Structure 1
Amino acid sequence: MNTTGAWDPAGYLRFGDERARPFTDLLARVGAREPLTVVDLGCGEGALTASLAARWPGARVTGVDSSPDMLAAAAAHAVPGRVEFAAGDVRDWRPDRPVDVLVTNAVLHWVPGHVELLRRWAGQLAPGGWLALQVPGNWRAPTHALLAELCRSPRWAASLADAAPADDAVLDPTGYLEVLTGAGLTVEAWETTYLHVLTGEDPVLGWVHSTVLRPVLARLEEDDAAELTAEYAAALRAAYPRRADGTTLLPFRRVFAVGQAVVSR
Structure 2
Amino acid sequence: MSHVWDPRRYLAYADERGRPFVELIARIAATDPGVVVDLGCGPGNLTALLRQRWPDARVTGIDSSPEMIEAARRGVPAVTFAVDDLRDWLAQTAPGEVDVLVSNATLQWLPDHLDLLPSLVGAVRPRGWLAFQVPGNFDEPSHTLRDELAAEEPYAAHMAGVATPAAHDAATYLRALQRLGCDVEAWETTYLHVLHGPDPVFTWVSGTGARPTLQALPSPLLPRFEEELKARLRAAYPDDGHGVVLPFRRVFVVARPA
> What is the CA RMSD across the aligned residues, in angstroms?
1.6
Q: Map 1:74-93 onto structure 2 (within 5 A).
A: 74-76=72-74, 77-79=76-78, 83-93=79-89
Give the counterpart letter for 1:130 in structure 2. Answer: W
Partner residue in 2 for 1:235? 232
SS of the residue 1:24 aligns to: helix
- The alpha carbon displacement at 1:217 in A equals 1.4
Partner residue in 1 for 2:156? 157
- The alpha carbon displacement at 1:243 in A equals 1.5
Identity percentage of aligned residues? 51
Looking at structure 1, the residues matched to 118 and 77 of structure 2 have their Cα atoms a distance apart, in angstroms, of 29
SS of the residue 2:134 aligns to: strand
Give the counterpart letter for 1:254 in structure 2. Answer: R
Whether the 8 Å contact between 1:50 and 1:78 is mirrored in structure 2 is no
Looking at structure 2, the residues matched to 164 and 13 of structure 1 have their Cα atoms a distance apart, in angstroms, of 21
Partner residue in 1 for 2:257? 261
Partner residue in 2 for 1:61? 59
Looking at structure 2, the residues matched to 223 and 138 of structure 1 have their Cα atoms a distance apart, in angstroms, of 30
Looking at structure 2, the residues matched to 98 and 180 of structure 1 have their Cα atoms a distance apart, in angstroms, of 19
- The alpha carbon displacement at 1:121 in A equals 1.2
Whether the 8 Å contact between 2:155 and 2:221 is mirrored in structure 1 is no
Partner residue in 1 for 2:99? 100
- The alpha carbon displacement at 1:53 in A equals 1.0
Partner residue in 1 for 2:214? 217
TM-score by length of 2: 0.94
SS of the residue 2:220 aligns to: helix
Whether the 8 Å contact between 1:151 and 1:161 is mirrored in structure 2 is no
Structure 1: stretches of 5+ with no match in the other structure: none
**Is 1:249 the equivalent of 2:245?**
yes
Over 3 Å counting, the alpha-carbon distance change for 1:123 and 1:164 in structure 2 is closer
String of CA shifts for 1:134-184, please: whole Å, max 9, x gaps.
001010000100011111123322222653846xx2110000101111111
SS of the residue 2:62 aligns to: strand
Looking at structure 1, the residues matched to 73 and 65 of structure 2 have their Cα atoms a distance apart, in angstroms, of 12
Out of 58-67 and 154-163, give the one that drifted further: 154-163
Partner residue in 2 for 1:37? 35
TM-score by length of 1: 0.92
